[in-house]
Chains A and B, each alone.
Chain A
Amino acid sequence: MQVEKTRQAKMRDLIGQVIEKLLLFCAIVSILVVFLIIAFIFAQGWPVIQKYGVSHFLFNLEWRPLADPVQFGLLPMIAGSFAVTFGALLIAVPLGICCAIFLAEFAPQWAAKRIRPGVELLAGIPSVIYGFWALMTLVPFIMQNFGGRGLSILAGSLVLGIMALPFIINIAEDAIRSVPREYKEGSLALGATHWQTVRYVVLPAARSGILAAIILGMALTLGETMAVILVAGNAPVIPDSVLDVVRTLTAHIALEMGYATGEHSQALFVAGMVLFIVIMFLNSIALAIYKRSGAN
């Protein structure tokens, strides 16, 4: 009887250990995937970087992968990505922060109950639908009212701005909500109005969380592909105005990867590296700010 029990207990311990190892493995999969992504993409891009040098890619205006001599300048695409992202933030930041303040401080419950699911849904709509919608509505509208082909930085900025909204709203609202109650109560007790309290007490206290929201929104917008590819026109040249066509880094990879071979394909992986490094950089800054702000 005694022996039987210990054997059972041993078995149970063994199973427990196996399961723990299995769970640990599952937890480590995420780490593994990140390393695989870095290893594979960087290994592909490295040979051409060694051959032509970093500045050939970063400070070169010519993208002529099939010419002789080849030109792998990514600068037009980098400029394009930042132009569209900057435009998107011009729309999404003020609107998103206003909406976050509204939801956190002023909205009556019935309004918040309608807006919050709406924001969630906005985050859930596939990016290709945003792109298609913009292609059918914004692009003809811009063409008729402002001239040009309609496919433009403006169209790309508008659609990416809408897409960045839910993320900025969610994080900014969290940041505003995590401002300690006492701050607000103190201000209100001193006779400040609700708006004065928000403007002079709550928003300054939530500053770093809101900044994190903006940077995360920027990282997200830089990485967006399918919406911007449908409305930006995709010519690899430096744009002159907001009505010019533009090609982003993401669109650049998506458009040419299908038929690229040899060094051309490797140069596209360099574009992937640039995108990855910039986004990871922004993301870690945002996370560091967010953690320090104490929001959860």
Chain B
Amino acid sequence: MRTAVKIEEAVARIILWVSGIIILSVLFFIIFHIVSNGLLAINWEFLTEPPRAMGREGGIFPVIVGTIYVVGVAVLLGAPIGVMAAIYLTEYAQKGKIVRTVRFFVETLAAVPSIVFGIFGFLFFVIYLDWGWSILSGGLTLACMILPVVIRTTEEALKAVPDSHREGSLALGATLWQTSYKVILPSALPGVITGVILGIGRAISDAAAVFMTAGMAALVVPTSIWDPARTLTVHLYVLASEGICFERAYATATVLIVVVLLLNFTAHWLINLMMKKQRI
């Protein structure tokens, strides 16, 4: 009987270890496969030249610019609205009906799949508001999409600020807004920025919503927010699904992975910074 218990314990531990190892290996294998195939095709020309022959030759410069524009519009609109919503939820609203309702809808919005955001953005921005396939339509669709990420992360960061800060500021005669803006927000800043970075990550990663709202045909550098644009993810999708050029697809995927890794490390670093700050 005792040995049976010991064997079960040992087997269980082995299975659990293996599960952890499998997950890390899968991650490593995916990144290694993409980067090892794509790194050699990346050079200065690839990053600065426009694509030629539907992307078979040339580079991805307009795609990089398009990505920056679309994600830029999304973050410029989504981040402030999200941060202010989080301030309202944590600093202004008392625990009550409004907070519960808003939070329910934030959760709902977080669960909406990106293709549904895509058809909504297509109907609302592209057709109803008649903005066409454009950076503005794509950016606004993504702004709606990143709202929940920004709100939730910012809320967590604001809640972590000790109440003594609030009470001290209010006792000195500062208004609620002065307290939020000059006391709470600065001490929660790393967390707030983390929320924005996670939002950027979500926006850059998305393809389904963008390709229905920002268009996919454009292979020239966009000059205004009314121009259509193709993002890195959409470019990769087109190259892969139509089998245009797998070498260029690997290179585009590698650029994407590098960007995602950088965002991830920055967010991680900021979270560590915040944890250290709180411990002091």
Residues of A within 8 A of B (CB): 12, 15-16, 19-20, 22-24, 26-31, 33-34, 36-37, 40-41, 44, 95, 98-99, 101-103, 106-107, 111, 114-115, 117-122, 124-133, 135-137, 162, 165, 169, 193-196, 198-199, 219-220, 222-226, 229-230, 250, 253-254, 257-258, 268-269, 272, 275-276, 279-280, 283, 287
Contact = CB atoms under 8 A, between A and B. Distances in A.
Interface residues of B, number: 83
Given A30-B148, A124-B263, A132-B236, A162 B26 contact: yes
Among B148, B208, B257, chain A packs the most CB atoms within 10 A around the CB of B208
B260 interface: yes
A50 B246 CA distance: 45
11 contacts: A30-B106, A40-B124, A40-B128, A118-B24, A125-B31, A125-B205, A128-B237, A223-B111, A223-B112, A223-B114, A257-B119
Among A22, A111, A224, A272, chain B packs the most CB atoms within 10 A around the CB of A272
Interface of B: 5, 8-9, 12-13, 15-20, 22-24, 26-27, 30-31, 33-34, 37, 80-82, 84-85, 87-89, 92-93, 98, 101-102, 105-109, 111-120, 122-124, 128, 144, 147-148, 151, 175-177, 201, 204-208, 211-212, 233, 236-237, 240-241, 246, 249, 253, 256-257, 260-261, 263-264, 268
B34 A133 contact: yes
Contacts of B89: 27
The secondary structure that dominates the A interface is helix
A198 B12 CA distance: 10
B20 A124 contact: no
B122 A257 contact: yes
Given A27-B88, A220-B113, A279-B112, 17 more contacts: A24-B92, A33-B109, A33-B147, A41-B119, A41-B123, A106-B17, A107-B20, A117-B268, A126-B206, A126-B233, A126-B256, A128-B240, A130-B30, A165-B23, A230-B237, A257-B122, A280-B111
Among B16, B128, B204, B253, chain A packs the most CB atoms within 10 A around the CB of B16
B257 to A, nearest CB: 7
Contacts of B124: 36, 40
Contact of B208 (A36, A250, A276): A250
A103 B20 contact: yes
A250 B113 contact: yes
Contacts of B256: 126, 129
B261 A128 contact: no
Contacts of B102: 27-28, 30-31
Nearest to B89: A27
Given A29-B147, A195-B8, A224-B113, A135 B101 contact: no
Given A124-B264, A287-B107, A196 B92 contact: no
Contacts, number: 234
A41 to B, nearest CB: 6
A20 B113 contact: no
B23 A118 contact: yes
Contact of A102 (B19, B112, B128, B206): B19
A157 B96 CA distance: 42
Contacts of B177: 15-16, 19-20
Contacts of A36: 120, 124
Given A16-B176, A133-B30, A195-B8, A95 B23 contact: yes
Q: Considering the complex of A and B, which 6 residue pairs feature the smallest CB-CB distances, nearest first?
A: A223-B113, A98-B19, A126-B205, A23-B88, A26-B84, A102-B16
